């Protein structure tokens, strides 16, 4: 087993091909900290630590200093200081990735049919917020590329305009042809949400992600009980680090799905625990990337294949590999609606 002897941290800024609009604002750049661990024999392992501004629990002004302290503990102990890192999930995920890369000596971090290049992972086609005509053009592009599941960002353009867009989509494609998922990023008020959910049900939407902002447990639980459309939690899961906290949240709200990002929801070990707790309660789940570069995306996909594979049928949220003009080359390839690893 290779033990890291030294480390280095390199900040890096990635640039979006086109502005990425959400109800929280528009992204044009993305900052990550690239972590490299090096063993005494010269073998290296790389990971990506990528918190999201104003969303990640560990988006902090002294982020790099804290990451350096955890790396020093890693070098001293020879293992990841998991207990100390639970409140810092993006750092933990980057370190888990770098350690797996160091041990395996390959970007194939976990041994699965996907990492052996034997099967692909189906993913949804992500359509960012923009003008209605722009979004319709992006939807058509995704369909032309072979996607059957489309995820739309909603909650910022104006509900009237977004309803008109859903109507246009369903006029051209029924729910058997195109599965629609929507992500509100907490963009609706609790008193608005029931009417929104009724409209979404009328257009055969598969699910809505985070209809109201996180922290309103009673309101979210009520929506989950009454909604005609399955509700999925995402931002709601941020900041809960222990098994008992996570179980309490799921028991209180009882969503239909949870959507997991290792950089936000506890790293690799945290995601595995969330999936286990959800499965015990009959709650579905899928995994998405959190706008990482290909280094982080590969690690998310490796984890996804390990948890749900072989033969994943539910589309995952791993369609971020082409977001950046200056992404890091990696052995990932899109074929139709599936993400493949090229060993």
Q: Hey, which residues are catalytic here?
A: 153, 261
Residue 158: CB partners within 8 Å, gap ≥ 6? none
The SS3 call for residue 84 is helix
Burial class (CB in 10 A: 0-12, 13-18, 19+), 206: buried
| Length of the chain as a residue count | 343
Dihedral of CA 330/336/338/342: which sign?
negative
> Which residues are CB-neighbours of 282 under 8 A, at least 6 positions away?
none
Q: Helix crossing, 63-77 with 89-104: angle to 10°?
A: 40
Is the omega angle on the peptide bond into residue 310 within 30 degrees of 0, that is, cis?
yes
Instruction: Read off the DSSP letter of residue 110.
Output: S
**Burial class of residue 214 (count of CB atoms within 10 Å of its CB; 0-12, 13-18, 19+):** middle
């Amino acid at each position: 087993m290779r033990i890291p002897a030294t480390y280095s941290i390199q900040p890096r800024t990635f640039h979006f091909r086109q502005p990425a609009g959400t109800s929280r604002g528009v992204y044009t750049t993305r900052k990550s900290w690239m972590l490299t661990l090096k063993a005494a024999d010269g073998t290296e392992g790389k990971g990506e630590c990528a918190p999201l501004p104003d969303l990640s629990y560990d988006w902090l002004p002294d982020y790099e200093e804290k990451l350096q302290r955890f790396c020093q503990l890693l070098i001293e102990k020879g293992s990841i200081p998991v207990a100390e890192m639970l409140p810092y999930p993006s750092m933990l995920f980057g370190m888990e990735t770098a350690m797996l890369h160091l041990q395996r000596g390959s970007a194939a971090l976990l041994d699965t049919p996907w990492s052996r290049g034997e099967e692909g992972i189906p993913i949804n086609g992500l359509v960012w917020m923009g003008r209605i005509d722009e979004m319709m053009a992006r939807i058509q592009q995704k369909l032309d590329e072979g996607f059957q599941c489309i995820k739309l960002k909603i909650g910022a353009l104006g509900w009237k305009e977004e309803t008109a867009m859903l109507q246009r989509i369903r006029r051209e494609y029924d729910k058997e042809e195109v599965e629609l998922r929507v992500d509100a990023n907490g963009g609706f008020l609790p008193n608005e949400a029931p009417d929104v959910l009724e409209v979404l049900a009328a257009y055969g939407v598969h699910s809505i992600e985070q209809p109201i902002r996180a922290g309103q447990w009673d309101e979210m639980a009520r929506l989950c009980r009454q909604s005609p459309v399955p509700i999925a939690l995402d931002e709601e899961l941020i900041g809960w680090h222990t098994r008992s906290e996570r179980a309490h949240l799921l028991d209180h709200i009882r969503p239909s799905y949870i959507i997991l990002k290792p950089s936000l929801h506890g790293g690799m070990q945290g995601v595995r625990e969330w999936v286990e707790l959800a499965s015990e309660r009959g709650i579905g789940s899928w995994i998405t990337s959190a706008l990482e570069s290909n280094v982080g995306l590969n690690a998310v996909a490796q984890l996804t294949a390990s948890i749900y594979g072989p033969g994943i049928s539910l589309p995952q949220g791993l369609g971020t590999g082409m977001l950046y003009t200056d992404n890091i080359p990696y052995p990932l390839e899109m074929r139709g609606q599936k993400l493949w690893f090229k060993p």
